[in-house]
Amino acid sequence: MTADSVSGLEALQGRLRLKWLILRTAIEERLVYRADFAFSTLVRFLPIVTQIFLWNAIFQNLASGRMKGYDFGEMVSYYLLVMLARAFSSMPGLSTGIAGSVADGSIRKYLIQPVDMLDHLFWHRVAHKLVYYVIAAGPFALVFWLCRQHFPGWPEWYVTASFVASLLMSFAIGFLIEAWIGLIAFWFLEVSSLIFIYMMLSYILSGHMIPLEWLKPWLPFVEYLPFRYLAYTPAAIMLGKVPASELPAELLVQAGWIIGLWLLNRWTFQRGVRRYTSFGG
């Protein structure tokens, strides 16, 4: 083994150790206030119950018992899967945190230390989701078990594998979109309005509010946006709304959005750093 290969291997090991250190530290931070974290996690399940009652009232008043290709059982299963996907892809506080770091100058720590900001924030979010799902696994399992009659049963193994892959990629897309919005703070002093607009668009265009099939007649471009991969696509895959022959292409497009958004984030960060100035200690 040459000296260059040895040094390259040592550098890789150093980067992996750094990522593990960030992940472990972030998990420990989340567990400091574990009671508060657990309570806030459990409270988020209350809207699920009210939403199920709402859809039940809507479908009871339909003569056919169906609405645009969905009956009540399919709607409940869709909504629960969308909630699961949104729990992966939502990144509360990420955009505002980045924008705040740019505004108060604390972002300079990433410019003078050998720590990549986006990589650091990514592993922080991984730690957050790990702790969140350890706590939320029980409530999620209970809700899905209580609503088990609304699910058609376990699909084929490749559908389940595609669902898991899409779910994990939804996390990356959600992170990259919100990180990019935060990086816009290099050019604008206030990005709260942009964050609000994104939240509204994401709620509608991701399929969180209603299935995207209902929006296509009015918004035909909705299937070409990355928002659909935040919630709709994982749910549609699990429910068999995506034909088996189209699964590879669907996952490749989702992976393509990750690459594109990652490049956009890198380009925005580099451009922003060039025009960034910070004064004081």
DSSP for residue 239: T
pLDDT per residue, tens digit, the chain (281 aa), is 565 555 666 666 767 777 777 777 766 666 666 566 566 666 666 677 777 777 777 787 776 767 777 888 888 888 889 988 888 888 888 898 888 888 888 888 878 777 788 888 898 888 878 877 777 777 777 777 877 887 777 788 899 999 999 999 999 999 999 999 999 988 887 788 888 888 888 888 998 888 888 888 888 888 889 999 999 999 999 988 888 899 999 999 999 999 999 999 999 999 888 877 655 54
Q: Confirm whether 253 is domain-assigned.
A: yes
For residue 7, tell me if it sits in a domain: no
Q: What pLDDT, on the 0 to 100 scale, is given for residue 37?
A: 57
Q: Is residue 247 part of a domain?
A: yes
Joined tokens for residue 247: 């699964």
Residue in 71, 93, 73, 75 with CA at minimum distance from that of residue 83:
75
Residue 178 domain-assigned? yes
Task: Report pLDDT for 166.
Answer: 95
Residue 218 counted as domain residue:
yes
Our count of domains for the chain comes to 1
Give the per-residue pLDDT at 29: 67
Distance between CA 281 and CA 279 in Å, rounded?
Answer: 7
Element (H, E) at 74: helix 72-89
Within a domain: residue 2?
A: no
Backbone angles phi, psi at 185, to 5 degrees: -60, -15
272 vs 102, 261, 263, 278, CA distance in Å?
A: 10, 16, 14, 12
Q: Does 90 map to a domain? A: yes
CA 211, CA 230: separation in Å to the nearest integer?
Answer: 13
pTM above 0.85, yes or no: no
pLDDT confidence of residue 277? 65
Whether residue 69 is contained in a domain is answered as yes
State residue 126's pLDDT score.
86
Instruction: Identify the domain containing residue 225 by its residue range.
Output: 12-274
Quick one: angle between helices 94-104 and 117-146, nearest 10?
A: 160
